[in-house]
Structure 1
Amino acid sequence: MTTKPNHNSLKRKLAKVGKLPVEELAGRSQLNIDLMKDEFDVVMRNQIEELTDLLQAKDPASIRTIYEMSSQIISSASFVKADWVSRAAQSLCEVHEIMSAGKWDWEAISVHGKTIQLLASLDQSQAAMSQSLLEGLGAVVAAKRA
């Protein structure tokens, strides 16, 4: 007994969207995502440079901007799957919030900025180093909480 292929109209419509095969559309979508990741990587690195400049200036008027820039880095880093950078920027936001309620400490903020720069330069094979750096930032946050 042979089975007849199912060529109903719904199956044909699902197989093609806009007269292009679904597989081709998926490939094009992935290419667009990959191109966007490259662009977001550049954006993230530019944001890190901007943050570094803000931190070096140590201008009290830039305190709010530091938090905003850290939040932007979280978004960009998340898109390009730079998880270490994202976690370090989250830690910077956390220590920023803690210190905004009390005494501001440029050194704690600066350590976070330098660590974000370093993490952005590491590749995936350096996971142990990245984890150690993130643990160090966690210790800074814990010290500021105390």
Structure 2
Amino acid sequence: MGSPTSILVDDSLWPLLRVTFPRVVTNEQYTELLERRLSYLQRRERHVSLIDMRQLRSLTSEQREMQGAFLRQQEDLMRRWSMGIVTLINSPALALVIRLIVHRIKPSVVPYSVLTSWPAAVSWAADRLEADGLSEHARRVRQCLGSSCHEELG
């Protein structure tokens, strides 16, 4: 499978929400992602997000501002319905940008982690599900997103 050209959102392992970024994201695509993210929060169902930004080169200053505004505006929904967000990033510079965006809201409204390893990110997400009493979902995430399945999916 080639590199995606749009942001892929996958809820097939709900309550795990996977978001995979392409190398370059337009402001329009980012706006659509935030609208879609809001629709998941408005379901009023607890969930964990795994954000895969390994292919992404960078976010524009406008996209960083949109993300910060989204986090501030949706703080109550996120606190109530998000069990955590793990972001998978290869670029140290992009990891720093993401950490800065998240730290704009103090205290952080949900548990989050920025990691560079796929297995660590999957484990972190599954641990959050398990901590919320969703052991069967955590097992399914570990099983389905393990190294062999991940190569097929992502």
Q: TM > 0.5 between the two? A: no
Pick the structure with more strand per residue. Answer: 2
Task: Name the TM-score, length of structure 1 as normaliser.
Answer: 0.27
More helix by share: 1
Q: Greater CA radius of gyration, 1 or 2? A: 1
